[in-house]
Amino acid sequence: MLTAARAAAVYVFMLIVIRALGKRTVGNFSAFDLLVALMLGEVVDEIIYGDVRFIQGAIAIVAIGGLAYADSWLAYVHPSMQAVLEGKPTIIVRDGRFDRAGMRSERMNDKDVMAHLRTEGIHDIREVHLAVVELDGTVSVLKHEWADPAQKADVNKDEARARDKTIGDEETPSPSQRTDSRSALNAA
């Protein structure tokens, strides 16, 4: 029980530290994924080298796994807890302009943002409707509609009919279907 309690305490402490360091610190992992990987790696190392008994290591592994499962379950069952446990996406460019508050919270400067935009093929920041730092630290870019490339359905009648059959009569998708809606961005 002491081993499980220690594992839980370290889990909570490390989660706080990782969340405080920000999304860019965890790379392409969520904070939970990184935390679980770090802790499990350390426990397995201790077991392999005989620094702890196998049963102690197994208890710690089960405790860490249980906490990770509980975190993800809690975020799923109570969507309001997701922001607390996993964070929220952060807008860093809005309508072709830097969002300084979002950049400050992610500790990103102009060069960092421009580098991310270049990886998305953006030549001019004015093309960007939204650029968002996601929970895993990646940057998603949504262009203004006028900056989107033409699609086959724009010039081919058969493709236009196929598009219309798929999306129906709705010109604009509902907020739950849009990736740039408030609900999708958790009111970021």
How many C-beta atoms lie closer than 10 Å to residue 60's C-beta? 25
Give φ, ψ of 88 to 5 degrees: -130, 150
pLDDT tens digits for 22-46?
655 555 566 667 777 888 888 878 8
Amino acid identity of residue 120, one-letter, is E
144, pLDDT greater than 60? yes
Assess whether pLDDT exceeds 80 at residue 107. yes
Torsion angle (degrees, nearest 10) of CA 69, 70, 76, 80: -140
Could you tell me if 46 and 67 are in contact, meaning their C-beta atoms sit under 8 angstroms apart? no
Percent of the chain surpassing pLDDT 90: 24
Model pLDDT for residues 47-89, shown as the tens digit of each residue: 777 788 888 888 888 888 888 888 878 888 888 887 777 778 9
